Structure formats: C-alpha cells, structure tokens
Amino acid sequence: MAFALTIGNKCFSSWSLRPWIAMKQLGIPFEERFVRLRTPETAANLAKVSPTGLVPVLDHDGTIVWETLAILEYLNELFPAGQLWPADREARACARAVATEMHSGFRDVRYGWPMNLRRIRAHKPLDAEGEVQRERIVSIWRGCRERFGDGGPFLFGHFTAADAMYAPVVTRFDTYGGDLAPDVRAYCDAVLATPAMVEWYAEAAREPWPEPRPDEQDV
C-alpha cells in the first residue's frame, strides 16, 4: 500500500497536523506532499490535489480521501490494531464525540489563539466566548482522562484520533495559555513529547517562509 499525504505549512496548518501525527504515531510510511499556503498560487495548486481546495488530502493508491475525520476513520479501518478509536464501546463513542466537537467547534479559541509555532510563548487572554470555549476544552480533557485515561498519558490512555484532533489545540495552549493547571500541563506535555510532535516542530522551525510572523495576531 502506498500513501501520500498533502499538507500545508507546518508552522500554522493545524488541519494538516492532525492526520500527519496520527500516521506517524501508527508508524505508517507515507510520502509527504506539500502546498505552500498564503501565496497567490495556493488556490490553483490546491485545486490540483484537493476536491475542496483545502488540506489535508490523503492519496492511497489513487483513492483520494479529504476531510480530517474521514482520513482518520479510513486509517482506522486499514490499521485496526493501532486503535485510533478505543476498543471499548463507551470510550469509542466518547472519543468520536469529542473529536467531532473539535472538528466543528471552538471557533473563538482557534481565531483568538491561532496556531503559530514561531510565536514566543506568552499568555494572551481570550474574549468572553473564547474563554467559555477554552474551559470546555479543559473539561473535555479532564473528563476523558478521568474516565478513560488509565494506562497512558493521553485522553484514552494510548494515543487515539481524539488526541490527533486536539494536537493543534495543545500547541495553542502551550503558546498562549500561560501557566496551565498541572493536569492540563501534563496532558499538553505528553502530546508535545511524542516523537511525531517533536519532528513536526523541528521541521516547522526550518521552514524558510516569513509567514506567519512571530507577532502575528490573526489566523
């Protein structure tokens, strides 16, 4: 089986990170394809590889899968031993629910704390709605860890699709969140310490393009 994953800039492409880290954690060999974002040519280049004009896009021997959750589901079907979704039915339902909540929500956190791996770590307050959403994320992390986290440092013990979905949010908490509660800090540190995330950060640091600026405030 031959896999290719098309992604955007590692410094800020949060959706690209999600399937990328999942494939790395599962040990799936894949060709990394790249489309630089935020250029005059971006739309035309994405149109060649993506039916939606967005990244990420998975190419598996000519089968094209777009949308992050669809990619994660596809990988789980092909590599069930990796348990991207937990084996336990209740845990699996919870993992799918919180992953979907991430996929469709938390807009004010994502816009208030845009993923920017160039940015110096410093606390940045969110607006009122963003703070409500931040608290909801923390509640999700705590609830999953308390109910299903035995056996490992991740939301469901071992690394799952839910962790992949929240990995870019972990970078936001680390960059903008300031002093985090010990349990929140421990979860963030567990994700940041994965070999995949260490590799992603190192490659992001080597990107030669100027965007985003370290002080950039928008998405």
Has residue 219 got a pLDDT over 50? no
- Helix (H) and strand (E) counts for the chain? 9, 4
Higher-confidence residue of 133 and 213: namely 133
**173, 188 contact by CB (below 8 A):** yes
Shared-domain flag, residues 102 and 193: yes
Shared-domain flag, residues 74 and 119: no
Amino acid sitting at position 207:
E
Shared-domain flag, residues 164 and 73: no
Dihedral sign, Cα of residue 82, residue 64, residue 4, residue 118: negative
Has residue 21 got a pLDDT over 80? yes
So what's the pLDDT on residue 217? 59
Question: What are the phi and psi torsion angles at 157 (to 5°)?
Answer: 90, -80
Q: Residue 130 sits in which domain range?
A: 89-200
- 105-147 pLDDT, tens per residue? 999 999 999 999 999 999 999 999 999 999 999 999 999 999 9
| Domain boundary pick from 48, 82, 116 | 82
Residue 26 lies in a domain: yes
Largest CA distance in the chain: 48
Shared-domain flag, residues 176 and 135: yes
Q: How many CB atoms lie within 10 A of CB 17?
A: 27
Residue 209 lies in a domain: no
pTM for this prediction: 0.96
So what's the pLDDT on residue 211? 84
Strand 3-7 relative to strand 57-60, pairing: antiparallel
Shared-domain flag, residues 161 and 116: yes
**106, 133 contact by CB (below 8 A):** yes
Q: How many CB atoms lie within 10 A of CB 91?
A: 20
Residue 188 lies in a domain: yes
Q: How many CA atoms lie within 13 A of 169 on its CB side?
A: 27
Shared-domain flag, residues 103 and 196: yes
- 167-206 pLDDT, tens per residue? 999 999 999 999 999 999 999 999 999 999 999 999 999 9
Shared-domain flag, residues 8 and 71: yes
Residue 46 lies in a domain: yes
Omega prior to 56 cis, within 30 of 0: yes
Shared-domain flag, residues 64 and 130: no
CATH of the domain at 14: 3.40.30.10
Interatomic CA distance for residues 62 and 132, integer angstroms: 42
Shared-domain flag, residues 65 and 9: yes
Domain count, the chain: 2
Helix axes 195-205, 14-26, angle to 10 degrees: 140
Strand 31-34 relative to strand 63-66, pairing: unpaired
Has residue 218 got a pLDDT over 80? no
Dihedral sign, Cα of residue 46, residue 2, residue 155, residue 123: negative
| Domain boundary pick from 45, 62, 82 | 82
- 22-47 pLDDT, tens per residue? 999 999 999 999 999 999 999 999 99
Question: What are the phi and psi torsion angles at 57 (to 5°)?
Answer: -140, 130
Shared-domain flag, residues 175 and 73: no
